[in-house]
Structure formats: C-alpha cells, structure tokens
Amino acid sequence: MNEADMRRSLPIGVFDSGLGGLTVAREIMRNLPMEKIVYFGDTARVPYGNKSPKTVQRYSRQIVRFLKTQEIKAIVVACNTASALALDEIREEAGGLPVIGVVEPGARAACEETKRGRIGVIATRATIASHVYSNAIHAIRPELSVIGKACPLFVPLVEEGWTHDKITDEIILRYLDEVLEYDIDALILGCTHYPLLRSEIRRLIGDEIRLVNPAYETANELKRLLRSEALENDSPRMPGEPYPYRFFVSDDAERFAGFANSVLPVDVKSARIVPIEEY
C-alpha cells in the first residue's frame, strides 16, 4: 500500500459533548460506508450548551489533541455548541487536518429549502445565544429572516428514551409555538440530539415545513471534502480487517454503548474511557 492509499485508509475523527453526535456518526456510516470512524463523546462534561465559550474552547482543544493520537485524516465537530463557539480554535489545534462543523452545512441546506424566506432554528441556549446559524445564513442570503428558539429539555428527553411520549409532545408544541407564529417554511434541528425527535416534530407541525437535519448535511459535506482532498477511502474492507469503528468517552461507557446501540446501524459492544483532562 502506497502513502496515498495509507492516508485514505485512515479514520475520520468525530466528536461531540456526549451522545448526540452519534446522529452525525450514523449519517457518515450510511453515506460513507467505507470510511473508518473514531468517535469521542465527552460524557463526563456534558452538556456544553450551558458552558462559557472559553470552557468549550478548552474542552474542544483537549479532544482534538486526543483524536490526533488516533492517526485520523479529518475531524468532524458533531456538536453544534462546539461548532458555534470553538471552530477557529479546533482548526488551529488540528494543525492542517481538514475540519468540518455541523453549522455551515445545515445553514446552507436551509437557504436552499426556504421559499418564503423565514427559517426557524431550534438548538441549545449557547448555540442560539451565539447567533451562529443566523450569521451563517445571512452570509449566504442576507435577506432571509431567522427565528431562533432554545429547547434545552429536548436533550434529556432523548437521553431518557422518551421520544414517543405525551410529555415530549407537549414540550415540543410549547417550544415551537412561538417559532411557528413567524410562518417559517424551514426548521433547522440545530442540536445533534434533535434528529432523534424528527418524526415527532414532523407529526406535530405538519409536512409544509422542511426539516433540515445538519447531521445528514454534514455527512454530505464530508463526502465532498474527502473527494476534493483525495482522501475518500475507496478500498472495501478486507476479511480479517479490524472493526472500522472505535468509540471513546470521558465517563459512563456502559450507558454510552447502550444509547449508541439504539441509534447506530452497527453493534457497539463497548467504549473506552479516556482521561481527557490529561490532553
């Protein structure tokens, strides 16, 4: 195997503040099935949505330093909060490795989908307060209106497995009532947990509003990036080759594996705990 082939065969580093980034990993697995993945979930320090920008930047740098020890070829920031608050620091720490966040692909897709020029964004408090989605959208189409709404209860509901529950329906409607008053025609699911509520949101708000899943859009953007950088792995997995997906967390590996098996199209037998504060 020559050097170029060896580089193409390296894994993609994917990280999130905890469990939600598994929706991004899922889309990468589905859309780039030959790619290997190293996933890190910062389960000891989740959530990032109520942390200061400096804290999120410090955590993100530590994670990037760890991922680089795993000989990766690119980094996907599968966390809206880290994408909003720490993308520059992540790129600096990555030292030349290609880096993709989840915000810009989602913003671009929403700009393409809207017909009436009114886009809703639901996300964590930190992501909404950062205005990162509205800034990204206005950089593409300045004339569009963007309405943001923080939905902090969605994450614990998803992690409790209450995606099909009357309480969840009530909370979705309560959060989205204000956003729907603006007659939006596109809604960005601006937290990586939120795609796991997609069917419930769709059922409650109807079919006229286009739901934008940044996890799916990020996987497509990653595919374009890998092709443009000649990094796409086009070699099928050989018999006896090691399992292509590795999972690391900063705490509670058993809970992570259980949640991962409810989200991913593969069997996650275990995750390794990493003392991330040492990086």
The predicted-structure confidence for 123-133, as pLDDT tens digits, reads as follows 988 889 989 99
DSSP state for residue 238 in the 8-state scheme: P
The catalytic residues are 79, 191
**For 196-208, what is each residue's pLDDT tens digit?**
999 999 999 999 9
- For the stretch 142-194, pLDDT in tens is 999 999 999 999 988 998 888 888 999 999 999 999 999 999 999 999 999 99
Greater confidence (3 vs 28) lies with: 28
Pair 221, 96 in one domain: yes
Query: Residue 100 in 3-state DSSP?
Result: strand
Residue 151 lies in domain = 103-214
CA-to-CA distance for 171 and 151, rounded, in angstroms? 9
Domain boundary among 176, 199, 214: 214
Instruction: Indicate if 97 and 229 belong to the same structural domain.
Output: yes
pLDDT the model gives residue 72: 97
Residue 188 identity (one-letter amino acid): I
pLDDT at residue 172, as a whole number: 96
pLDDT at 237 over 80: no
pTM of the model: 0.91
Strand-pair partners of 40: 15, 248
Note whether 274 and 205 are same-domain residues.
no
One-character DSSP codes across 55-86:
HHHHHHHHHHHHHHTT--SEEEE--HHHHHHS
> Where residue 191 sits, what CATH number does that domain have?
3.40.50.1860
113 and 204 share a domain? yes
**24-79 pLDDT per residue, tens:** 999 999 999 999 999 999 999 988 878 899 999 999 999 999 999 999 999 999 99
Q: Tell me, yes or no, whether 120 and 203 share the same domain.
A: yes
CA atoms within 13 A on the CB side of 112: 8
> What confidence category does residue 241 fall into, taking pLDDT thresholds of 50, 70 and 90?
low
Residue burial 245-275, b: 16+ Cβ < 10 Å; e: rest:
bbbbbbbbbeebbebbeebbeeebeebeebe
